[in-house]
Structure 1
Amino acid sequence: MTASPAAAAAATLTARAQEVSPRIVDDILTLVRQETSSYDLPGLATGLELLRELTVQRLGRPDHEHRYPGGECGDTLTLTYAGTGTGTGTGAGHVLLVGHYDTVWPTGALAGWEQPRPSDDGRDRLSGPGIFDMKTGLAQGIWALKLARESGAPLPTVTFLFNGDEEIGSLSSRPVIEETAQKADVTLVLEPTAHGAVKTARKGTGIFQVTATGVEAHAGLAPQDGASAITALSEFVVAAAKVAAPDRGTTINTGLFKGGSAINVVAGQATAGVDIRVSSEAEQTRVDEELDAIKVSDPRVRIEIDHAWNRPPMTLNAASAPLLALAREVAREQGRDSLPDTAVGGASDANFVAALGLPVLCGMGAVGDGAHAQGEFIYPETVPTQTALVAGLLGHLTHPLRG
């Protein structure tokens, strides 16, 4: 039985991805070896230039390029490659590929990093700071366009958006992401998969700063004259934890706590950084109200809360459903049994795009595990499959999606 043209093209694409897989892995490791902590501006600058050079090496010079200064954050870079269209040379579709090059790992983490043993089922693993979240996705995205070009199929215009502040909230890159996404027909975010599943729902996030201002006093001579900011903030943190409602998808974690000036001084100042995750806007409102209502035992201490909601909750909106269906069609053409989707607790830049009502899929990148954990890893044998999936999608997106 003769394969259909679509199946034959998909088989050729996946075979080519398998053939060049060692080169893709080499590019992944090249990116990993350049450390890019979110808080290391020189490292981020070097990492972004390396990423740009790698893109140009694989794809040639872009038709349009713009670098957006990040200030105290890593810069954001957009590289646009014009589509080949359907014979007109103009390209009817426009796809945005989003990926962050910053990592949670402090500079120097690479020096003591150890490679893991194969998993219990014998699968090889590669590890390194940021390899899973998300330097593998960056390399796979670049190679996806390269392979799609080699296939000779008509292609949409493709814009890469590389930002260096996603891990700290996309503080400078958010407006660039939103503006660029509105100019594109669809957005694919190259974040890691959830064990092979694409991510169609993510929690919204809040990055709250809580400040307690008390009264300093000598801890030995006149402790009664002081009002401890540390004690009061500790009370607040314990009360805030009780506002969490895991059954509704709401979690609250105090990850940073500091205060005081000396061990023999009743603390006059203390601050806490609180990470909040919610699945709905209703939960955002509830959390705001209940945190504001918390009282501490010493009325002399003033509690101030910076309600900084960073990313809105993401759901599979009506615009994204056809994109998911198309991704599943491409996966079937390439011989995959299924392409599951899932909801996860983490947030990404896809949250911003979904909140605009635009079509977006997240988790188009690495297959592995351990994001933000020592020993994060990828399964290198999945690199060609994931690269081919994105390449195949590009070949189907020469026209805007129809819902």
Structure 2
Amino acid sequence: MTASPAAAALTTRAQEVSPRIVDDILTLVRQETSSYDLPGLATGLDLLRELTVQRLGRPDHEHRYPGGECGDTLTLTYAGTGTGTGTGAGHVLLVGHYDTVWPTGTLAGWEQPGASEDGRERLGGPGIFDMKTGLAQGIWALKLARESGAPLPTVTFLFNGDEEIGSLSSRPVIEETAQKADVTLVLEPTAHGAVKTARKGTGIFQVTATGVEAHAGLAPQDGASAITALSEFVVAAAKVAAPDRGTTINTGLFRGGSAINVVAGQATAGVDIRVSSEAEQARVDEELDAIKVSDPRVRIEIDHAWNRPPMTLNAASAPLLALAREVALEQGRDSLPDTAVGGASDANFVAALGLPVLCGMGAVGDGAHAQGEFIYPETVPAQTALVAGVLVRLTRPLRG
């Protein structure tokens, strides 16, 4: 489809400023923000705020929510221009996390990926795909929308520093802020260019085994190994998975024991669970509780910590997807596909409230949480223009 004049102007401008957007992406990547590095997170959030103010000016309202043992959450609100009242008729929430899974110090040993097999340029770095590119693109999207001269909705940015560890402190802020907005766009990376309209629910379970310590050489029979029992549990838990129903179970952390010559008195395991439905959530709870270990002297305790509910394309979000597709066509794209993915995001919280939300409005690339994560810088203008175009179209509230 041939782009409309207004849409063409927006995409042309995005192409012109693309090097500056990429510079901002790399600026954010160079500041490491591990989910567990509070000083690094604080510096990273200060940098992100400074970058936003540089590009957009001082916000009309801002609030920083202390994260405690997690990174802080920051909201920056820019009043709209939709009705001549100075407040805009619609209100859009742009959500993005600035924390990454990468330990501080990873950047020093990071190798650039070079061009892809088909010759496309790639840029790598810890968090560049998930999701610092989306942060920079979101900021520039509002800047480009402003420059277009079109009426705009009020826009609130929400930057949180604990998404990778479950949004433990930011979830209430996300839910409260989303309920005050008309539409939420989550700037997570795309799935190879597709927006994400369905995501699995997640559980972050902690399993603790408490056994009986004893000398491993003098009186091993007096001991009841927590490590052995927990190993049995982990193997049995893996069999509860049902990939054909979208349910996966992964034990990613295992710790236990006090010394090599002591029968272990305690052991813990961290278990990641992904489900596509509430029915599977209930089944997993029931079957994990039913697991028995061979030594009755060992006590198994399970913390059923369901972190994010499953996300589906709810009735409120369907019109938003249709609008985004209209914008993509107006900008000359052939299509804007949507897809379901196994990973969860903060969009799960918003969808569970029955509110309109689209996820995966950010980077095009691959390798999230892997040493080779990268983006295709050539896609930065189109993705930025897409978000900008959606903002322009959301001057009026999508929902009544």
Q: Deviations over 1:169-220 (max 9, x none)?
A: 0000000000000000000000000000000000000000000000000000
Runs of 4+ in 1 over 6 A off after TM superposition: none
Secondary structure of residue in 2 paired with 1:67 = strand
Secondary structure of residue in 2 paired with 1:339 = coil
Between the aligned partners of 1:352 and 1:89, the Cα distance in structure 2 is 30
Between the aligned partners of 1:115 and 1:20, the Cα distance in structure 2 is 23
Residue 401 of structure 1, CA deviation: 1.1
Between the aligned partners of 1:354 and 1:267, the Cα distance in structure 2 is 44
Secondary structure of residue in 2 paired with 1:162 = strand
Secondary structure of residue in 1 paired with 2:205 = strand
Instruction: Give the equivalent residue in structure 2 for 1:274.
Output: 271
Instruction: Kindly tell me the number of residue pairs found equivalent between the two proteins.
Output: 400
Between the aligned partners of 2:252 and 2:313, the Cα distance in structure 1 is 30
Between the aligned partners of 2:60 and 2:140, the Cα distance in structure 1 is 18
Residues 153/306 of structure 1: CA separation in 2 closer, same or farther (3 Å cut) = same
Residue 2 of structure 1, CA deviation: 11
Residues 2/169 of structure 1: CA separation in 2 closer, same or farther (3 Å cut) = closer
Residue 3 of structure 1, CA deviation: 7.9
Instruction: Give the equivalent residue in structure 2 for 1:16.
Output: 13
Q: Deviations over 1:63-95 (max 9, x none)?
A: 000000000000000000000013343311000
Between the aligned partners of 1:245 and 1:28, the Cα distance in structure 2 is 39
Residues 352/221 of structure 1: CA separation in 2 closer, same or farther (3 Å cut) = same
Residues 290/120 of structure 1: CA separation in 2 closer, same or farther (3 Å cut) = same
Between the aligned partners of 2:86 and 2:103, the Cα distance in structure 1 is 45
Contact persistence 2:248–2:273 (CA under 8 A): yes
Between the aligned partners of 1:401 and 1:75, the Cα distance in structure 2 is 30
Contact persistence 2:209–2:230 (CA under 8 A): yes
Between the aligned partners of 1:20 and 1:151, the Cα distance in structure 2 is 14
Residues 292/2 of structure 1: CA separation in 2 closer, same or farther (3 Å cut) = closer
Instruction: Give the equivalent residue in structure 1 for 2:315.
Output: 318
Between the aligned partners of 1:393 and 1:184, the Cα distance in structure 2 is 15
Instruction: Give the equivalent residue in structure 2 for 1:372.
Output: 369
Between the aligned partners of 2:139 and 2:178, the Cα distance in structure 1 is 18
Secondary structure of residue in 2 paired with 1:329 = helix
Contact persistence 2:4–2:331 (CA under 8 A): no
Secondary structure of residue in 2 paired with 1:45 = helix
Contact persistence 2:80–2:154 (CA under 8 A): yes
Residue 383 of structure 1, CA deviation: 0.2
Secondary structure of residue in 1 paired with 2:142 = helix
Between the aligned partners of 1:247 and 1:53, the Cα distance in structure 2 is 46
Residues 113/2 of structure 1: CA separation in 2 closer, same or farther (3 Å cut) = closer
Secondary structure of residue in 1 paired with 2:159 = strand
Match of 2:67 among 65, 70, 91: 70
Instruction: Give the equivalent residue in structure 2 for 1:162.
Output: 159
Between the aligned partners of 1:177 and 1:364, the Cα distance in structure 2 is 17
Match of 1:149 among 121, 146, 149: 146
- Residue identity over aligned pairs, in percent, reads 96
Residues 4/370 of structure 1: CA separation in 2 closer, same or farther (3 Å cut) = closer
Secondary structure of residue in 2 paired with 1:57 = helix
Q: Deviations over 1:152-177 (max 9, x none)?
A: 00000000000000000000000000
Between the aligned partners of 2:197 and 2:8, the Cα distance in structure 1 is 27
Q: Deviations over 1:292-343 (max 9, x none)?
A: 0000000000000000000000000000000000000000000000000000
Between the aligned partners of 1:199 and 1:88, the Cα distance in structure 2 is 34
Q: Deviations over 1:108-159 (max 9, x none)?
A: 0000000012001100000000000000000000000000000000000000
Residue 375 of structure 1, CA deviation: 1.3
Q: Deviations over 1:216-236 (max 9, x none)?
A: 000000000000000000000
Instruction: Give the equivalent residue in structure 2 for 1:130.
Output: 127
Residues 283/264 of structure 1: CA separation in 2 closer, same or farther (3 Å cut) = same
Between the aligned partners of 1:309 and 1:2, the Cα distance in structure 2 is 46
Contact persistence 2:2–2:330 (CA under 8 A): no
Secondary structure of residue in 1 paired with 2:268 = strand
Residues 290/157 of structure 1: CA separation in 2 closer, same or farther (3 Å cut) = same
| TM-score of the superposed pair, with normalisation by structure 1 | 0.98
Contact persistence 2:2–2:332 (CA under 8 A): no
Residues 235/3 of structure 1: CA separation in 2 closer, same or farther (3 Å cut) = closer
Q: Deviations over 1:246-285 (max 9, x none)?
A: 0000000000001000000000000000000000000000
Structure 1 alignment gaps of length 5 or more: none
Contact persistence 2:256–2:266 (CA under 8 A): yes
Secondary structure of residue in 2 paired with 1:236 = helix
Secondary structure of residue in 2 paired with 1:75 = strand
Between the aligned partners of 2:353 and 2:2, the Cα distance in structure 1 is 44
Secondary structure of residue in 1 paired with 2:185 = strand
Residue 46 of structure 1, CA deviation: 0.1
Q: Deviations over 1:3-39 (max 9, x none)?
A: 856xxx0000000000000000000000000000000
Structure 2 alignment gaps of length 5 or more: none
Secondary structure of residue in 1 paired with 2:36 = coil
Q: How does 1:225-236 map to 2 (within 5 A)?
A: 225-236=222-233
- Measured on the aligned residues, the alpha-carbon RMSD in Å equals 1.2
Residues 4/309 of structure 1: CA separation in 2 closer, same or farther (3 Å cut) = closer
Secondary structure of residue in 2 paired with 1:2 = coil
Between the aligned partners of 1:397 and 1:86, the Cα distance in structure 2 is 12
Residue 402 of structure 1, CA deviation: 4.7
Q: How does 1:194-273 map to 2 (within 5 A)?
A: 194-273=191-270
Contact persistence 2:138–2:384 (CA under 8 A): yes
